Structure formats: C-alpha cells, structure tokens
C-alpha cells in the first residue's frame, strides 16, 4: 500500500480487495452499505481500497465530506472504462469532464438553462401540465392499484426535455428509455463493478457484465438526441431552448470546445442525471405519505386550507411549511445518492491525517450522515417536525447535502425540487393514498447507482 494510506481490507495480487468489497456489498444489500460496514470494521472515517488496479478512497463524517466537496483537488473525475462507456467513448460533457473543459461547459449550461426555463417562474407551467397528465392517468386507472413508476418518470423527462430540446419525446420511446435507466441503475454500483475493473469480461459475458445493457441504452439515447439536434439545425423546432442556445454558441465561439459531440454528451448528462433521481425522490415521498397515514392527513389539511382548489406553484413552498418540511424529511430519510462521486484527485491530499495519492478515485458518503444520531434526534424515525421551528416556520438543515456542495453541486436542484413539490402537493390535494393490501410497502431502498424504492402499488381515493 502507498505510505500512510487509509486503513481497509487486505490487498491480494492483481485483484486488490475487489472480491472483499463485492462480498460485503452482496451481504449487506448494496455497495453503499457494504462499504459502510467495512469502514466500521476498520474503525475509520477514511476507507482505503484497491479495486483491481484502481485506488479508491471512501470518505465519511461531516468534516471529511465537506473537505472533499470544497477543496479543488477533489474536482476531477476518473478516466476509466465505465466513464468512457457512459460518455460514448469520450471524456467530455459535464458530469465526467474535468479541468477547463468542464468549467467552460458547466458555466455555459447553467447560465443558459436558467435563461431558457430553469428559473422558478418558467417551469411552473410545464410542471403543472405534467401534473394534469398524472392526475388524468390516476383517474383513468383508478379501478385498480396504481404503480407510480408507470407515470412519474415520464413526467420528469417530459419537463426536462422540453427545456433542453423544446419538444417532447414520443411516449413509447420514453417508456423503453425509462426501463433501460432502471435496469442500468440496478445493474451497476458507483465504482462500475466488474465491467469497469476488468473490461475484457464484456467479450465473454456481454449480458452478465451489463455491457449489452449500456450499449443498448447508449444507442437509444443517441438516436433521440441526434434526431433532435438535426431538427434544430433544420429549424423545424421553434423557440429558444437549450440546444438552440448551444448551436448559436457553436457558431460564435472560437474556442473549439463547443462541438456537436460535446452538445450531445451535455444533453445525455442532463437526461441521465436528472430523470431517475427526481422521479425516485418523488416516489419515496408518496411512499412516506402512504406509510404514515396521520402525517398524510396533516399534509392534506395544510394544502386544503391554504390552496383550496388552486393548483400548486413553486412559490407556494413558503405558504406550506409542513409540506416543505415533509419533503425535506423525505430527502433525509431516503437519500437518492448516498454515495456521491466518483471524483478523482488532481493532486496528493491529506484527509484525516492519511495521505491520498494524486489520481485516486474518491467516493463521498453522504447517506450515513443523514442517520447519524450525533446530528439528528431519533434518526430512524420519520419526523417532518424536525424541520419546523418553534414559530411554525420552516427550518433548513446545514448537515444535509442531497444535491452535493461546492463547484460540482447539482445544477438541476431547482428543477428537481419544484417538480417534486408541485406534483406531490397537487396529487395529495386530490387523493388520499392508501395501501392496496394488508402488507405495507417496505421502506427499505433498493440501492444501485442511485437509490430507488422497491416497486409498490397504492389505491388513490378521490377527496370529495
Ligand atoms: C432529486 C433529484 C436530484 C438529486 C438528488 C441530485 C443529486 C446530485 C448530486 C449529489 C450531484 C453532485 C455530484 C458530485 O458532487 O460529484 C449532482 C450532480 C449533477 N446533477 Fe443532479 N440531482 C438531482 C436532479 C438533477 C436534475 C433534475 C438535473 C438536470 C438538470 C441534474 C443534473 C446534474 C448534473 C449535470 C450534475 C453534474 C455536475 C458536475 O459534475 O459539475 N440533477 N446531482
């Protein structure tokens, strides 16, 4: 091991400790939980691993997590097989780019998404439109229990794609895409699994290694993005969406970093990072309402007293403190990205007294902070009240990082939060959600690349 490297399992020739990590992940149900158990076993807040030939360090605890989010040396992204496969062979775009290219592309994207719709006012109409579709779907299918997975992801993707590309994706294409996203998130962990550590295994086990799945997903998304970019070039899509702004920049900017390929990967980044995360968080919110009947009634009372029949807008978040606190508690109780990253060190760094060499892959564990009894009173209880102060006003927490922190903080947080708020409040305003059988759906998440609720169905009883 490198000098003063953090503690962790023993390394074996060639494999490092890959098989121990796999074994713990399997035993504890996810890589996040497996790694947490290993960190506990070695009594460390900085866990040192070697996965085949990649040095990986996982950081725990508020001090270390903040250091990793805020120090510049942690801003890099790994350059490995899994990353390149995700970005159609190149290390470009935003999510997996780094250095000056990342800075320039991120800055442009954040600014222009704000101009074309990622502002609080611009999105309300599009989200309310999707809320109407969701309500129509519930009305039509209300004779049997409903699985929200059939409708929420489509709504998120429609809003996202409208802002990025100015149009909607055809429904049958959307459904196929969502199924592939779901399978991808279940099949991989944050370190990319065997396919990343031993890319040659794709030649022998294309299905088992997940390679065939990623290839299929890439082809489907590429087709959709290529077709839309082509339509913009032929001027068949009217309006000033993100692709329109990007193509303008390509004509005017002489830096050569604004290219067709780059545009395609930025669009891919936005779809992949924005769709499943947001819909999973919303599904968790409905699950929490379903599991906590009395809290659901409290939510309805607040929504009904404040809005009556008026459809919710993002600005109503100020007027609905209990609903807002409930959604904050959902973020704490069901973290969507319990392990954030992967990052790559651009220089040697000391964390908690350990020396981590340049090039090491870093994972930032935020999920366990949310259930730390030193930070939260009764962390395993679902208690929205913890986010309400003595005067009944909303109280934000500084110890939660659902969207990360620092220069790589999530650029889609406003879209995600407003979509979740408007759809959650809008559905509860119209329906009481009840278990459709004696068995209450499990609150245990299914954690792969991100966290998802286990599939559940519910009855939606109209509020008279
Ligand atoms: C509940 C929903 C969401 C959650 C929990 C979430 C969480 C996160 C987190 C924790 C990061 C930081 C990664 C890091 O520090 O390495 C991140 C980055 C990112 N998110 Fe989100 N996100 C959500 C929704 C969205 C949406 C709607 C978009 C679409 C616009 C989006 C686009 C991105 C992108 C492009 C990045 C990469 C930023 C960079 O590397 O510079 N996310 N997200």
pLDDT tens for residues 216-262? 877 878 888 888 898 888 877 666 788 988 998 888 877 778 998 89
Any alpha helices (H) in 4-98, and if so which ranges?
18-28, 31-41, 62-70, 81-86
Residues 362 and 71: their CA atoms lie apart, in Å, by: 13
Which of 92, 412, 421, when mutated, tests ligand 1's pocket best, judged by the most ligand atoms within 8 Å of its CB?
412
CB distance 420 to 281 below 8 Å: yes
Q: Which residues contact ligand 1 via a Cβ below 6 A? A: 94-95, 106, 269-270, 273-274, 277-278, 281, 336-337, 340-341, 343, 402-404, 408, 410-412, 415-416
DSSP, res 314: G
Q: What proportion of the chain, given as a percentage, has pLDDT over 90?
A: 61
Residues 208 and 330: their CA atoms lie apart, in Å, by: 34
**Is 6 part of a structural domain of the chain?**
no
Residues 94 and 85: their CA atoms lie apart, in Å, by: 15
Which of 65, 273, 275, when mutated, tests ligand 1's pocket best, judged by the most ligand atoms within 8 Å of its CB?
273
Condensed to tens digits (0 to 9), the pLDDT of residues 2-49 reads 999 999 999 999 899 999 999 999 999 999 999 999 999 999 999 999
Look at residue 355 and tell me whether its pLDDT is greater than 70.
Answer: yes
Any alpha helices (H) in 342-457, and if so which ranges?
413-430
**Is 12 part of a structural domain of the chain?**
no
**Is 2 part of a structural domain of the chain?**
no
Residue whose CA is closest, atom 7 of ligand 1?
A: 403
Look at residue 76 and tell me whether its pLDDT is greater than 60.
Answer: yes
Cis status of the peptide bond prior to 68, with omega within 30 of 0: no
What is the per-residue pLDDT for 147? 93
What is the per-residue pLDDT for 237? 66
* Cα dihedral across residues 454, 455, 457, 463: positive or negative: positive
What is the per-residue pLDDT for 122? 63
Residues 243 and 163: their CA atoms lie apart, in Å, by: 9
What is the per-residue pLDDT for 171? 76
Look at residue 120 and tell me whether its pLDDT is greater than 60.
Answer: no
**Is 3 part of a structural domain of the chain?**
no
**Non-local CB neighbours of 313 within 8 Å, separated by 6+ positions:** 124, 128, 422
Q: Closest Cα partner for 176 from 227, 235, 217, 133?
A: 217
Any alpha helices (H) in 292-363, and if so which ranges?
293-307, 321-333
Q: What is the mean pLDDT of residues 76-88?
A: 83
Residue 200 alpha carbon to ligand 1 centre in Å: 30
Report residue 59 as tokens: 């950081």
Residues 42 and 362: their CA atoms lie apart, in Å, by: 18
What is the per-residue pLDDT for 417? 94
**Residue 306: domain span:** 18-462
Atom of ligand 1 at shortest distance to CA of 343? 16
Residues 452 and 61: their CA atoms lie apart, in Å, by: 24
CB distance 410 to 404 below 8 Å: yes
Residues 112 and 108: their CA atoms lie apart, in Å, by: 6
Residue whose CA is closest, atom 37 of ligand 1?
A: 95
Residues 134 and 426: their CA atoms lie apart, in Å, by: 10
Residue 12 alpha carbon to ligand 1 centre in Å: 35
Q: How far is CA 265 from CA 96, 97, 212, 226, 228, in A?
A: 10, 10, 20, 11, 13
235 marked ligand binding residue: no
Q: Closest Cα partner for 362 from 190, 198, 195, 199?
A: 190
**Is 215 part of a structural domain of the chain?**
yes
**Is 172 part of a structural domain of the chain?**
yes
Residue 323 alpha carbon to ligand 1 centre in Å: 23
Q: Closest Cα partner for 190 from 20, 363, 428, 334?
A: 363
What is the per-residue pLDDT for 116? 67
Q: What is the mean pLDDT of residues 416-438?
A: 94
Which of 123, 281, 410, when mutated, tests ligand 1's pocket best, judged by the most ligand atoms within 8 Å of its CB?
410
**Is 325 part of a structural domain of the chain?**
yes
Report residue 66 as tokens: 């903040």
Condensed to tens digits (0 to 9), the pLDDT of residues 381-413 reads 999 999 999 998 898 788 899 999 999 999 999
Atom of ligand 1 at shortest distance to CA of 404? 10
CATH of the domain at 443: 1.10.630.10
Q: What is the mean pLDDT of residues 105-120?
A: 80
Cis status of the peptide bond prior to 342, with omega within 30 of 0: yes
Residue 403 alpha carbon to ligand 1 centre in Å: 6
Condensed to tens digits (0 to 9), the pLDDT of residues 326-339 reads 999 999 999 999 99
Q: Confirm whether the ipTM is greater than 0.90.
A: yes
DSSP, res 442: P
CB distance 345 to 375 below 8 Å: no
Look at residue 206 and tell me whether its pLDDT is greater than 70.
Answer: yes
Q: What is the mean pLDDT of residues 350-375?
A: 96
Look at residue 321 and tell me whether its pLDDT is greater than 90.
Answer: yes
Report residue 396 as tokens: 């934000």
Average pLDDT, the chain: 89
CB distance 169 to 178 below 8 Å: no
Q: What is the mean pLDDT of residues 48-64?
A: 95
What is the per-residue pLDDT for 257? 86
- Listed range (140-144, 204-208, 254-258, 292-296) with the worst mean pLDDT: 204-208
Residues 4 and 38: their CA atoms lie apart, in Å, by: 18
Provide the domain count of the chain: 1
**Is 302 part of a structural domain of the chain?**
yes
Look at residue 190 and tell me whether its pLDDT is greater than 60.
Answer: no
DSSP, res 451: E
Q: How far is CA 401 from CA 252, 367, 373, 413, in A?
A: 37, 9, 17, 11
Q: What is the mean pLDDT of residues 137-165?
A: 91
CB distance 75 to 215 below 8 Å: no
- 236 SS3 class: coil
What is the per-residue pLDDT for 375? 93
Condensed to tens digits (0 to 9), the pLDDT of residues 369-388 reads 999 999 999 999 999 999 99
For residue 303, which phi and psi values (nearest 5 degrees)? -65, -45
Q: What is the mean pLDDT of residues 112-132?
A: 80
Report residue 430 as tokens: 């119209």
């Amino acid at each position: 091991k490198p000098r003063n490297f953090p503690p962790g399992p023993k390394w074996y020739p060639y494999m490092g400790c890959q098989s121990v990590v796999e074994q713990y992940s399997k035993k504890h149900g996810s890589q996040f939980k497996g790694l947490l158990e290993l960190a506990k076993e070695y009594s460390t807040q900085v866990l040192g691993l070697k996965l085949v030939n990649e040095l990986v360090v996982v950081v725990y605890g508020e001090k270390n997590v903040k250091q990793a989010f805020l120090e510049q040396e942690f801003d890099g992204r790994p350059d490995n097989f899994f990353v390149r496969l995700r970005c159609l062979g190149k290390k470009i775009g935003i999510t997996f780019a780094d250095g000056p290219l990342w800075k320039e592309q991120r800055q442009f994207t954040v600014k222009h998404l704000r101009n074309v719709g990622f502002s609080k006012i611009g999105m309300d109409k599009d989200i309310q439109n999707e809320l109407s579709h969701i309500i129509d779907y519930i009305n039509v299918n209300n004779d049997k229990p409903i699985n929200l997975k059939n409708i929420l992801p489509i709504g998120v993707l429609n809003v996202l794609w409208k802002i990025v590309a100015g149009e909607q994706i055809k429904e049958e294409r959307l459904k196929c895409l969502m199924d592939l996203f779901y399978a991808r998130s279940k099949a991989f962990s944050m370190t990319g699994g065997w396919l990343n550590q031993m890319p040659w295994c794709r030649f022998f086990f294309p299905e088992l290694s997940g390679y065939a799945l990623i290839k299929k997903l890439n082809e489907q998304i590429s087709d959709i993005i290529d077709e839309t970019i082509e339509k913009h070039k032929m001027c068949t899509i009217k309006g000033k969406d993100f692709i329109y702004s990007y193509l303008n920049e390509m004509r005017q900017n002489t830096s050569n970093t604004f290219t067709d390929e780059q545009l395609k990967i930025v669009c891919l980044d936005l779809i992949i990072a924005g769709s499943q995360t947001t819909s999973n968080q919303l599904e968790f919110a409905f699950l929490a309402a379903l599991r906590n009947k009395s809290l659901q009634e409290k939510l309805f009372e607040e929504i009904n007293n404040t809005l009556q029949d008026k459809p919710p807008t993002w600005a109503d978040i100020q007027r609905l403190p209990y609903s807002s606190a409930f959604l904050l508690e959902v973020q704490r109780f069901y973290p969507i990205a319990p392990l954030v990253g992967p990052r790559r060190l651009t220089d040697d760094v000391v964390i908690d007294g350990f020396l981590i060499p340049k090039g090491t892959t870093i994972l930032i564990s935020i999920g366990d902070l949310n259930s730390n009894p030193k930070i939260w009173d009764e962390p395993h209880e679902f208690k929205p009240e913890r986010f309400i102060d003595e005067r009944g006003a909303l109280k934000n927490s500084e110890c939660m990082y659902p969207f990360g922190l620092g220069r790589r903080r999530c650029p889609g947080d406003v879209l995600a939060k407003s979509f979740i708020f408007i759809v959650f409040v809008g559905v509860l305003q119209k329906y009481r959600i009840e278990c459709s059988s004696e068995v209450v759906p499990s609150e245990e998440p299914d954690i792969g690349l991100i966290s998802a609720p286990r599939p559940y169905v519910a009855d939606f009883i109209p509020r008279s």
